[in-house]
Structure formats: structure tokens, C-alpha cells
Amino acid sequence: MLRLGGNSASPERSKQGKLQWTSELQDLTLRGRLQNPKSYYKPETHSPYSQETLTKAWCSLIAELNVPTSKMTAATTAMTAPAFNFASHEHYSYPPFYTLQPNPTTRSSQLHSWSSLILSYCRFYRTYILNLADALDSPLFHNTVLRKRLKEQDARTLLNWMASKEGGERIQWIRDKGVAEGREGRCWVYWKRPEEWGQLVGDWVEETGQKGTVLTLYELVEGDVTRSQEFHGMPMELLQKSLQVLVKKGKAQIFGQEGQEGVKFF
């Protein structure tokens, strides 16, 4: 969390003109937490200062601490990026939304609303894998204005429903080594299902006249030619899941050694 001293509308400055920062922020920055500034930078709920003011102040501190430019760019980009609009989901500001309702009809509507919110949120931030522990403390499941949050068991119930056919199979739990069934902590979030991603890639290949051409999986998700495509930057494992759908339909063939796979579309 970023905090500035004082109650004025602009950061306090010492006689030397340096910004006054809390030791917490300095400690977090020095310990490398700058890699993920979103985890504690929440100007909309924790600071009276404008985002422009905070961004300038942050940059000054980064320069003063001699933080590498690459980290500074990542931090300021995250800070200035638009935030997800929770206001577009009317139930987010409704206190009972954070407790699963016992009435079957009401609960069904509630689960659908939660699913819509989660998918929209993950799509906005291009989140492919959701970490449950992190999500419980994030704005997604924790409304700090209402002081309401979704309990872990209710969150699991919700995600299990999203993983079911009734919930559209939008979630797939990831079984990490040593984790018991039902206690998984991470899951794929399919704001686009593998078959939808596969169709998107296949359409791009056809539109660019590359059927019959061997393309590496790496260039599909990391190459400059796909930079404008929605599938650019997606996890390699998800790309493979998506392409397998096309393979089963006889529309593609994957070959090559692990890490050097290529794909041909028909």
C-alpha cells in the first residue's frame, strides 16, 4: 500500500525537496515488491491523492532508490493502467452478495452473477490462472468499502460450480504436487474456453493465408506478427490445450520435441 505523509492535497516535501514516504513503502520497494505494485497500491481506496500525483511521486522515489529501469517501467505501467470497473456489476455493492444464499433459486442467480464478475475481472486483467489465497484478499472477493468478503469455503463452492457443466465449465482446478483433491489452491479461468481459443487461432491462420505452413508455438503467442491478436501472450500450456481441440477435429497437427513444438493447420 502506498501512503504519503500529511493531509494536504499534495505530497509533503522536506527542505531538500525530497518526497516524504512511509518506511513501509521504502521497505517493500527495497525488498523487490516493486515487481508487483498492484498487490499493495490501491489509490482508489487508500489514498486522498490523485493517481497522477502518486505516479510522479512514485517515480521520484524509484529514481532516488536507484531501482532498475525495467522494474520502474513495470511499476508505473501497472499504476497508470485503467482499473476494473466494479460499478458495472450491480451486485458487487450489495452486502448479501458475499454470503451464499440457502434458497436454491436465489443461489442459482447469485452463482451466475459471481461467475459473470469473475470472468469479466479475469478477462480485463488477462488473468488465466487464479490463485485462491490471493483472490480472497483482492478486490475481486473483498469489498473494502462494504467491509465484506467471500469466505474461502463459499469461494470454493462458487468455483466448483463454475467448473461444473451447469456453471459452463469455466474453471479447471490445477492439481499441484502434494495437494489433496478438494484443496487445490489454483485454477484455470476460462474467460475463453480452450475450444474458443483454438477457433481464434485457427481463424487467424486462415485469414493470414498460413494453412499448411509450420508455425512454432512460441511465435504464435510471443511473435511480433500476433501482437495485435487476443491470444498473444497466453500461457503455453493453455495454447497446447486449445490446439489439441483442433487436433482432435483433424484441423491441426502438433509435432516436435517439448519446448520446440511446431503446429501445422489444415
Last residue in a domain, options 28, 48, 83 = 83
Whether the CB-CB separation of 181 and 175 falls below 8 Å is answered with yes
CATH number at residue 236: 1.10.10.10
**Is 124 in the same domain as 76?**
no
Question: Is residue 182 located within the same domain as residue 258?
Answer: no
| CATH code of the domain in which 168 resides | 1.10.10.570
Residue 21 CA to chain centroid, in angstroms? Answer: 28
Query: What would the grid cell of residue 180 be?
Result: 489433496
Domain count, the chain: 3
Q: How far apart are the first and last CA of the chain?
A: 51
User: 242: domain range?
Assistant: 194-265
Going residue by residue through the chain (266 aa), what tens digit of pLDDT does each one get? Answer: 344 444 444 444 343 333 333 444 444 444 443 334 433 343 333 444 444 555 555 556 555 555 554 444 444 444 556 789 998 898 999 999 999 999 999 999 999 999 999 999 999 999 999 999 999 999 999 999 999 999 999 999 999 999 999 999 999 999 888 888 888 999 999 999 999 999 999 999 999 999 989 999 999 999 999 999 999 999 999 999 999 999 999 999 998 887 788 999 99
Q: Tell which of 23, 48, 83 closes a domain.
A: 83
C-alpha 183/C-alpha 180 separation (Å) is 6
Task: For residue 34, give the 3-state DSSP assignment.
Answer: helix
Cα gap 233→239, rounded to integer Å = 10
Indicate whether 91 and 180 sit together in one domain. yes
Rg (CA), the chain: 22
> What is the rounded CA–CA span in Å between residue 262 and residue 248?
16
Residue 114 shares a structural domain with residue 179:
yes
- What pTM, to 2 d.p., does this model score? 0.69
